[in-house]
Chains A and B, each alone.
Chain A
Amino acid sequence: MLVSSSASRKGLNVPSYLFLLAPAVIFMLLMYAYPFLASIVRSFLDKSGAFSFENYLKTIDLYTKDIAFTFSVTLFNTACTAVLAILLAVYFRIRQNRITKILSAIYKLPLFIPFVVVAQMMNSFLAPHGLLNVALAQLGLIDLKQPLQLFNFAGLSFGFLWKQVPFAVLIMHGGFQMIDNSYIEAARSAGAGMGKVITRVLIPMNKSSILVSLVLVYSQIVGTFTLPYMLIGGKIPTTITVDIAHRVNYFRDFGVANALGVFSYLLVLLTAWYYLKTKLGETK
């Protein structure tokens, strides 16, 4: 640890780290903390600025279906991500050959593709006459007169999984790599089959990185705007993020937009608590 000697030499009591931290912290207080608190406070104010539950009543009246939709999309995709990502990360841990090398390379690709590009990609790929339906029709699996309608829960999930599974695999993979081979060998020599090794050794030992990756996936899905906006748009049901945009763009109704925002905070309350708790614990 450095001692802030330059400041004390001049007889000042202000430690020098304050000068280093102040610009970034002031920026965050003004541009993050203030709008965050404002979003909560304003959700309880009516148009005249008086305290009321009007925004919440309106939100519950109009958007209960969308809140439920957001929650179910999020839960479903987090669960699917958990299963797929754990399987893939375990597979990358226990097998190392030419195929896993190629696979682990191409799995990194979606990670670096921004959501707006993913949204456009899915928009053209999943369209009623898009590449997926055309390809399935060529294989004789579907009739193009009745193409798969994917601008809904299913297509949205495909887009989310496309982007989030690689992300979760990458975090979990790092955790699995840290587990020494000797643990696996010890379990095997004690007579455990590979299945037991995975469920009793590998997954429990990597619990924290599995949980952190899923917590991040969960809160990202709740907060993602681009993909549902470009895939589902104003159709019913849609996600909270799309509703917020409509409320602001078409009605300039910031009250209901903020109430919807508070609902999205409530959806991530548990995961946010877990994330902050682990991360603050790590840096101590």
Chain B
Amino acid sequence: MKLNYRPILIKTFELVLLVLSFLIIFGPMTSLLLWSVAQKWYWPHPLPQEISFAYWKQALGIEKSLAIGAVSIIPAFFLSLGIAIVTVIIAMALAIPAGYALAKYKIPFGTFVMFLFLMPNAFPQQPIFVNVLQMFTRLGLAGTVPGVIIVHILVGLVFGVWITSATFRSIPPSMEEAARSVGATASLAFFRITLPLAAPGLLASSVFVFITSLDEFTGTFFVGLPFVQTLPLTLYSSSGYNMQFASVIALILLIPSILFMFLIQRVLKAEYVGGMG
């Protein structure tokens, strides 16, 4: 009897692919993890010679030692958190009405509005930040927290509008019409019927804007430097001389992103995720 090698070949190939994928995806992450606990790591040692959580403790403000040259990230963390919260509130206050209008009304200049909200995805955004910096320098907003918040709103608003308008579009107009037909005013129908139905999508979009703000680098780099040190900028400025400290911050920035992935995997369209960071 002739043996059929094909299934064995395919299985072998699949296993090789699995191992390779694991190495490629988790290799760089392992490097980050090792560096964050490496007290002493001189090459050509494959692994750190001495492991400790000194840099973690230092970064989280549990311990204070001048020997390892790291500072606390607590102020940067609260700054990033504060900026993200304000960004979400303002961006969503702008995005929810706009998303609703785009979903529910026939707008004569609708194509233009859509175009405006698609442009940032189609073209590089860095020249925008350069010119915003010039504008903000004149207005005295460069290097200030409000200036950085405005840039974060700009980055988040596009996604906010797209996700909210998709959410509102998925709610059948008949629900609101039914409420109107039994005498509810337009605003009552919106607040009692449409808004609760849209809540999960609006929440997802808020979380998305929040994470985008937390991870935002390029805009903050141009508009916020040197006075606004958010977490990503602290990571950048320490990556040159203090590998351990930079790795700790990178891992701390990873946590909200990974949590977010489990939280809104289903609601989210792949396209939005690409614009992150």
Q: For residues 79 through 129 of chain B, which have their beta carbon under 8 Å from a beta carbon of chain A?
A: 93-95, 97-98, 100-102, 104-107, 111, 113-129
Q: Is the CB of A280 within 8 A of B131?
A: no
Q: How far is the CB of B81 from chain A (nearest CB, A)?
A: 15
In the complex, whether A190 has a CB less than 8 A from a CB of chain B is: no
Q: Is the CB of A280 within 8 A of B118?
A: yes
Q: Is the CB of B29 within 8 A of A121?
A: yes
Q: Which range contains the number of A residues in contact with the other chain?
A: 35 or more
Give Cα A33 to B225, complex, Å: 23
Find chain A residues with CB under 8 A from B107 CB. 17, 21
In the complex, whether B133 has a CB less than 8 A from a CB of chain A is: yes
Find chain B residues with CB under 8 A from A35 CB. 127-132, 135
User: Which one of A51-59, A124-132, A195-203 contacts B?
Assistant: A124-132
Q: Is the CB of B186 within 8 A of A6?
A: yes
| Contact flag A130-B104 (CB < 8 Å), given A111-B273, A244-B130 | no
Find chain A residues with CB under 8 A from B22 CB. 106
Q: Is the CB of A283 within 8 A of B114?
A: yes
In the complex, whether B51 has a CB less than 8 A from a CB of chain A is: no
Q: Is the CB of A39 within 8 A of B232?
A: no
In the complex, whether B203 has a CB less than 8 A from a CB of chain A is: no
Q: How far is the CB of A210 from chain B (nearest CB, A)?
A: 13
> Per a CB cutoff under 8 Å, which of B97, B161, B217, B270 touches A174?
B270
> Per a CB cutoff under 8 Å, which of B94, B106, B114, B127 touches A280?
B114
Give Cα A33 to B119, complex, Å: 9
Q: How far is the CB of B62 from chain A (nearest CB, A)?
A: 22
Find chain B residues with CB under 8 A from A33 CB. 116, 119
Number of interface residues of B (CB under 8 A): 96
Q: Is the CB of B28 within 8 A of A167?
A: no
Q: Is the CB of B218 within 8 A of A244?
A: no
Find chain A residues with CB under 8 A from B4 CB. none
Q: Is the CB of A220 within 8 A of B116?
A: no
Give Cα A220 to B274, complex, Å: 8
User: Which one of A61-69, A180-188, A261-269 contacts B?
Assistant: A261-269
Find chain B residues with CB under 8 A from A123 CB. 239, 246
In the complex, whether B254 has a CB less than 8 A from a CB of chain A is: yes
Q: Is the CB of B27 within 8 A of A21?
A: no
Find chain B residues with CB under 8 A from A38 CB. 131, 134-135
Q: Is the CB of A220 within 8 A of B275?
A: yes
Find chain B residues with CB under 8 A from A110 CB. 25
| Contact flag A121-B131 (CB < 8 Å), given A226-B217, A241-B124 | no
Q: Is the CB of A32 within 8 A of B120?
A: yes
Name the residue in A42, A110, A112, A262 with the highest tally of chain B Cβ atoms < 10 Å from its Cβ.
Answer: A112
Q: How far is the CB of B66 from chain A (nearest CB, A)?
A: 24
Q: Is the CB of A144 within 8 A of B131?
A: no
- 0/1 string, A78-99, CB within 8 A of B gives 1: 0000000000000000010101
Find chain A residues with CB under 8 A from B118 CB. 275-276, 279-280
Q: For residues 112 through 164 of chain B, which have their beta carbon under 8 Å from a beta carbon of chain A?
A: 113-135, 150-151, 153-154, 157, 161
Give Cα A143 to B122, complex, Å: 44
In the complex, whether B34 has a CB less than 8 A from a CB of chain A is: yes
Give Cα A261 to B127, complex, Å: 5
For the A-B complex with A24-B97, A120-B250, A124-B246 known, give 17 more contacts whose Cβ atoms are closer than 8 Å.
A1-B104, A17-B104, A24-B161, A36-B119, A39-B131, A111-B273, A116-B215, A117-B257, A121-B28, A124-B243, A131-B30, A144-B43, A162-B24, A216-B271, A222-B124, A254-B134, A258-B127
Contacts from B to A (Cβ < 8 Å):
14-15, 17-18, 21-22, 24-32, 34-35, 43-46, 93-95, 97-98, 100-102, 104-107, 111, 113-135, 150-151, 153-154, 157, 161, 173, 176, 185-186, 215, 217-218, 221-222, 225, 232, 235-236, 239, 243, 246-247, 249-250, 253-254, 257-258, 260-261, 265, 270-271, 273-277
8 A-B residue pairs with CB within 8 Å: A20-B97, A28-B157, A42-B131, A120-B235, A134-B43, A137-B44, A137-B46, A162-B28
What are the 8 A-B residue pairs with the smallest beta carbon separation, nearest first? A261-B127, A223-B124, A115-B277, A114-B277, A114-B215, A24-B98, A35-B131, A272-B122
